[in-house]
Every structure is written in structure tokens, then in C-alpha cells.
Amino acid sequence: MTDTTVQRPTISPIERFSNATGLDTRMMAMVLALIVIWLVFSFMTDGIFLTARNLYNLAVQSSVVGIIATGMVLVIIVRHIDLSVGSLLGFTGMLIAYWQVEVELHWLVALLLGLVVGGLVGVWQGYWIAYQKVPAFVVTLGGLLMFRGGAFLVTDGKTVAPLDETFQLLGGGVDGSIGATASWVLGLIAVVAVVIMTFRARARSLKYGFPVRSIGIEVALVIVWAALILGFVQIMNSYYKPRTDIPRGIPIPVLIMIGVVIVMSFIARMTKFGRYVFAMGGNPEAAELSGINVRRTTMMIFVIIGVLCAIAGVVTSARLNAGANSMGTLAELNVIAATVIGGTSLAGGVGTVPGAILGAVIIQSLENGMVLLGVSSAMRQVIIGLVLIMAVFFDVAYNRQRR
């Protein structure tokens, strides 16, 4: 008799854990990679890497890349690319500084005008890409050159400084944080929000008959999130202002990044626009045939990333207390690397905002650790470039395995 027994495919322990918890295997791999990077750099720097001071600086450094990466997620999901983000950061940051110092506008007016300029640049680039069908690579490569040159022309290459003292707080300097009490309050609010959202989502899934995690795993995940949030607050409060025992607390650039993450996650997951973006990334032709206004959606994506570049320009110029032509140089490399490392597929249709933030932390951890080790700027660029290639290779291999 013929043996008709069907052998089920073997499931690895990682896959079983992923199925039980609902966590993405790529996200777990990134978290593991980040832990390994931190442990290696901590060992190589005799523990300096994991000090409160360095982690505070790492959080501030990650905020600029993270802010732009949340927009790059949408760009890459719809199978485009934006090479101009670093130059646009520098251009808008220089304009904001110039308006404060030379034109003597109020810092808030200069900031809002900078956001408007970022949005208008997005309209300009989005028009050529969406309506004139010029490849995004070409349009944004032109933007990389144009806006870098524009940043130089604003002040004929001169650095403009100093900036308004209140504006400087947005860069996370000596006083650019919210202190211990406010940090703990925000941390506790975040923990409560995680608990509410987790169990509301569970109740909603049960109501409509969707599969849910076991209650034990649900509680364990909530505890892990609470520990991460409160641990982060504790680390930020462990770094004191110079020559005092006053805790700095959460830096303002990190709060700006968190606000951007919340807004962009809502846009990507909870709005019609976000559903259109993923539909276009999955199958652009089918999306257009289904009635989605592909051209308008594409333009809006570039408007969004233009505004995010302006926000990053605000943080960078405030942190430097100046408008300098070097702002944003090669930022596009770090942003694209962070986005791809964070799980956004260059094939389109796949990507998450939290993943991009995790990718930004990984990239900045590598940069920060190499600086502590005294690695030259040229060698750091070589290593980050290799990391980008490996991230794309991993993405291709992962997609091939899924198919």
C-alpha cells in the first residue's frame, strides 16, 4: 500500500515563538542585532558606550535620522527613493537660521516658514515624479545637488549664529530636556497607554472572531514594554547637568521624534491614505484600477517627507546653535540604511514606522560606537555603506524565502 502520510514542515523555535507572540521575526532579529552591537561596543570601550551620558547623546543623535526615516518608509513602500533628504535638511535649517539672525524674525515664525518651505519642496519633487513620470531617483538626485547648493547660496557659504535661546532648546542642549519629574510623568502615561491599547485591541479582536495571543503572553508583553519605557526614563534621568546633581530627563528632540512616530504610525495604519500607500506598494497597477488616485497620493508622500526634513533641520540647527552648510551631509545614506534595516522592503508594500526607528538606533549606535573607538570618518562611511549593502541583501534573501 502507498503511504499517504503528509509530513508537516518543521517549524523552528524562533518561528514558534513568533507565532505565539505575534512578533515579526525580522523585528526580533533587529532587536537581537542591536543588543549584540551594544554589548560589543560596551566591551570594546570599557563600558563607556552604555553609560547614561552616552545613551543620552545616542538618543539625541538618533532623533534626526529617525524623524526623516518615518517618512522614508512611505517613500520606499511605494517603490520610490528620496536622495535629497540630507540636502533638504541643510537647506531648510540654513533658511531658519538665516531668518532668525539676518532678517530678525521671531524664532517661531522662522520655524513655521521652514516647514512651509519643506512642504513646497515636496510639492515640487512630487509633481515631477507623480505627474510627469520622471523617476524619483533622478528628481531627488537633482534635489540633492540643488538644495545643497541652495544652502550655500543663502549666506554665501557663511555660518550664521547665534540662534534664539528658546529655539536652542529644541536641539537638546544643556537645558534642552524636560527634567526628572516630567519625564517620570510621561513615562507612566506611556505605560498606561500601552496597557489600554493592548487590551482594547484584544477585546476588539475577540469581538470580531480574530485570533489573539494567550492572556499570559499578552501580560508578559505589556510588562516588557513597561520595563523598556521606565528603563529609558531612568537612564535619561541618570545623566546630570554639568557640575550639578540635577537630572536632565528626556531630551526635547526625542520627544519631537516620539510625536512624529505617533503621527506617522497613525497615518500609516489608521487612515485611508495609509491603506492607499500600502496598496500602491503591493501592486501599483491594481491600485490605480481600483480607483486610488495614485498621482495625488505619491505627491502627498513627498510633501510629508519634505516637512519631516524641515523638522529635522529645526532640530539640527537648534542643536548646533547655528546654520552651517555641512548640516545634513550624507544624512540620506543613514536614513535609507535605517529604513531598510528597519524592515522596509525595497520591493515595496512592506514596512513599519517603529521598525524604521529601530533601524535608526542601530545605525546611530554603529556611528556612535565607532566614534568612541576613534575610527576615522572615512572608515565609518565605508562600514555604514557595507551595512546598507548587507541590509539590502538580507531583504532580498528574506523575500525570496517567503516566496
Q: Report which of residues 3 and 401 the model is more confident about.
A: 401
| 35 within some domain | no
**Stretch 163-181: mean pLDDT:** 90
If asked whether residues 138 and 268 sit together in one domain, one would say: yes
pLDDT tens sequence across 41-72: 999 999 999 999 999 999 999 999 999 999 99
If asked whether residues 145 and 286 sit together in one domain, one would say: yes
Peptide bond into 162 cis (omega under 30): yes
pLDDT at 3 over 60: no
Q: Looking at mean pLDDT, say which of 183-187, 201-205, 320-324, 371-375 comes out highest.
A: 183-187
The pLDDT assigned to 83 comes to 95
pLDDT tens sequence across 299-312: 999 999 999 999 99
Q: Report which of residues 213 and 271 the model is more confident about.
A: 271
The pLDDT assigned to 1 comes to 47
The pLDDT assigned to 113 comes to 96
Of 55-69, 255-269, 296-310, 387-401, which range is least confident?
387-401
Strand partners of residue 247? 240
The pLDDT assigned to 20 comes to 61
| 6 within some domain | no
Cα–Cα separations (whole angstroms), residue 183 to 63, 157, 162, 296, 363:
17, 39, 29, 40, 26
Task: Domain count for the chain, please give it.
Answer: 2
| 282 within some domain | yes
| 93 within some domain | yes
Instruction: Please identify, among 192, 219, 250, the residue that sits at the C-terminal boundary of a domain.
Output: 250
| 264 within some domain | yes
> 317: which 3 cell numbers?
540647527
pLDDT at 12 over 70: no
The pTM score is 0.92
Cα–Cα separations (whole angstroms), residue 95 to 142, 154, 251:
19, 7, 24
Extended beta strands in 149-277, E state? none
The pLDDT assigned to 178 comes to 93
If asked whether residues 153 and 273 sit together in one domain, one would say: yes
**Domain, as residue range, for 330:** 51-176+255-402
CA-based nearest residue to 26, from 374, 396, 395, 401: 395
Task: For residue 382, give the CATH number of its domain.
Answer: 1.10.3470
